[in-house]
Structure 1
Amino acid sequence: MGIIKVENIRVYAFHGCLNEETKIGSNYRVDLEVKANLKASASSDKLSDTVDYVLLNKIVKEEMKYPSKLLETVAKRILKRIFKEDALVKKATISVSKLNPPIGGDVEMVTIKMTERRKN
């Protein structure tokens, strides 16, 4: 088993419970960690034998485009799609952070973190 991380994916998106958040938008940071068997790719040196981090980045950016009220919903959608599109991924952990959230205080970011395992 091995780990592939795609960290600090920066996205501008329109998530939130407040009307202003879905109209004005905000900056987000997404961190992703996936576990997969990397033995074959370590020996073969073939992209087809590993988890393509370009695909992971693409999934995150595409799914962040669809507005949701809750970051949990966005994270779950991303995880679901990762497992659907890459059979090598056995476990994935995602953190979705809203930078400078509108919560009436000096807060750098709020983050939700979720982990899923392949069901089969």
Structure 2
Amino acid sequence: MGFVDDIVHSIGRYIRRDARRLLLPILLTLAGGLTAAAGVAFLTAWAYLTLSIAVGQGPASLLMGLGLTILAAVLLVFARNRFTKRALTDPPVFQPAAPAAGETGLASQIAFTAAFVLARSLGEGRRD
């Protein structure tokens, strides 16, 4: 268990060391996200008020509800397609089919046999 303990303690040291450095970017990202959400909420309220003045409260509610529902559906379809899409891999490399055992060329058999005999003859003098 000493090996596992060393790994766990080293991970803890890295997290403690990097937590201070990562705290400010995380807080700034969170503040930016909340500010953006508040801005979107105010824009939605402004759009509703403008529509309610132009067409009335009932049709404005209907238009806003339909618009937001369609937007949510499009985002969900996009997210589903994005996360279920298989990772693109490199196209398979087609290798030529290996020749059958009887189809090897006479020249390749001669070359292999010569190399085999040469290797055996050179190896006989150097046995340890």
Q: In proportion to residue count, which structure has more strand? A: 1
Q: Which has the larger radius of gyration?
A: 2
Superposition TM-score, scaled by structure 2 size: 0.24
Report the structure, 1 or 2, having the larger helix content. Answer: 2
State the TM-score, normalized to the length of structure 1.
Answer: 0.25
